[in-house]
Structure 1
Amino acid sequence: MTVGSNDETTTGRRRDARRNRELLLEAAHKVFTEQGLEAPLDVIARRAEVGNATLYRHFPSRAALVDAVFRDPLTDTMAAGERARAEPDAWTGLTGYLRAVFAVLATDRGANDLMTTHLEGVDSLRTVHTHNRETVELLLHRGREQGSIRADVTPEDVLFALAALGRAVPSLATAVTTEAWHRPLALLLDGLRPSPLAAPLPEPTLTSDQLGDVLRGLGPHRSSRAPGEGSAS
């Protein structure tokens, strides 16, 4: 075999590897969107029309696959947070940011799992959770200064309420419409407004560590498998 043919063979293998990776990422995003992050990995391999060994060669763990699939969408969420931070009016920034987040939570079960729980081993997720907390904290502080947000609400109050409501959003979207989250989110946001009729919030307040424990306890959505789709990997 000549040197030229060796080079062509190597180039062809690299091209096939890139194509397989792209097929896996596309299939994984569709399956995670439909079924959540506990979807069986063999279903993803079959959707991509590759073997399980090919999947594990590209992505040695579920966390590695999740990280690759959702890195760009998580970056988009952080960009929405940056736009909210730049908004002079804190209330406008907060409501716009949360609506952008909930629009994703309602249509993508995989992204919902990521945003409302703690999943170990996904590097980009740690960054977006930190950014999300900082965004909420900044907007609450600014809103209190501007008089648009009640003085006794904490970032943990808001993040807990958002996670709890966010977990219900996919089922709400299925039972009603993908826009049905607007009503419960509006009620939640009204609870952040200062009002002479509002009673003081009772103790105790959640700590940051306690909130993390709560989110870890929620876990991903159960996958909605069709019969014969295989077991979780």
Structure 2
Amino acid sequence: MTAREPKERRLRKDAERNRARVLEAARDLFASEGLEPNLNDVARHARVGVGTVYRRFPTKDELLEAIFVDALDQLTALAQTGLTYDDSWEGFAWFVEQMCELTATDRGLREIAFSKAYGGDRVIAAQDRLGPVVAELVARAQHDGHLRPEISATDMPIISLIGGTVSQFAGHVDSSLWRRFTAILLDGMRCGGSQSVLPVDALDDQGLDAAMRTWEPASH
């Protein structure tokens, strides 16, 4: 073993620690501030030099992918878990609660989950994996007569955004307030005896895609 080999290992370990530090700082910053912060902001939050961030993540989109692809896949995994419930309403309601909790407590995840203005192909692919599983949850609960027939899978992102907006507005006063409005929304979605027909149709798939492509909650 040469003297150079231990030095190279130390450099690799230092690089790995710095990368982990940048990712942890970015997750924390994006969770609280949304996607507005830039790479310079991330460097300050991580207390590392700007060059350290740019060497590992030359663009903001690359950093977003490193953070959020797994988080989006977590949403898909939660939807798949909802499908394992024997009672389709319980599975649907459980997923909605889990989805709203994640997006109400992580502003960055909320913004990247429902906007196609950020990230690259890996983020879009992760978003596309989520849609069909959520659609199956909705169809299953409707087939069993639990979920109002007017409800569409395209309503789910907007429902999640409502919970997130509650947290953004009043989370500093009551961090669990989103649960109240999630319960109200679920109660309104469940089939009842004398419910009025909803006055406006849900977005279709093309409409949701257009909304996601044009919604930029932060400057890009």
TM-score band w.r.t. shorter chain:
0.7 to 0.9
Partner residue, 1:66: 64
1:76 to 74, 77, 80: 74
Alpha-carbon distance, 1:55 to partner = 0.9
CA RMSD for the aligned pairs?
Answer: 2.3
Provide the C-alpha distance between the structure 2 equivalents of 1:160 and 1:10, rounded to a whole number of angstroms. Answer: 47
Q: Which amino acid aligns with 1:87?
A: Y
- Unaligned segments of structure 2, at least 5 residues: none
Partner residue, 1:194: 191
Q: How does 1:169-188 map to 2 (within 5 A)?
A: 169-188=166-185
Evaluate the alpha carbon distance shift between residue 124 and residue 179 of structure 1 in structure 2; reply closer, same or farther with a 3 A threshold: farther
Q: How does 1:1-233 map to 2 (within 5 A)?
A: 4-156=2-154, 158-202=155-199, 204-220=201-217
Q: Which has the higher contact order (CA 8 A, sep 6+)?
A: 1
Provide the C-alpha distance between the structure 2 equivalents of 1:43 and 1:171, rounded to a whole number of angstroms. Answer: 21
Alpha-carbon distance, 1:146 to partner = 0.8
CA-to-partner distance for each residue in 1:197-217, whole Å, 9 max, x for gaps? 222234554221211222333
Percent of aligned positions with the same letter in both sequences? Answer: 29
TM-score, normalised by the number of residues in structure 1: 0.83
Deviates more, 1:192-201 or 1:116-125: 116-125
Provide the C-alpha distance between the structure 2 equivalents of 1:173 and 1:123, rounded to a whole number of angstroms. Answer: 34
Evaluate the alpha carbon distance shift between residue 59 and residue 211 of structure 1 in structure 2; reply closer, same or farther with a 3 A threshold: same
Evaluate the alpha carbon distance shift between residue 71 and residue 154 of structure 1 in structure 2; reply closer, same or farther with a 3 A threshold: closer
Provide the C-alpha distance between the structure 2 equivalents of 1:163 and 1:212, rounded to a whole number of angstroms. Answer: 16
- Unaligned segments of structure 1, at least 5 residues: 223-232
Alpha-carbon distance, 1:160 to partner = 4.9
Matched positions, count: 220
Provide the C-alpha distance between the structure 2 equivalents of 1:165 and 1:203, rounded to a whole number of angstroms. Answer: 17
Q: Secondary structure at the match of 2:171?
A: helix
Is contact 2:99-2:160 (8 Å) kept? Answer: no
Partner residue, 1:225: none
Alpha-carbon distance, 1:221 to partner = 5.0
Is contact 2:36-2:218 (8 Å) kept? Answer: yes
Is contact 1:78-1:131 (8 Å) kept? Answer: yes
Q: Which amino acid aligns with 2:188?
A: G
> Which one has a bigger Cα radius of gyration?
1
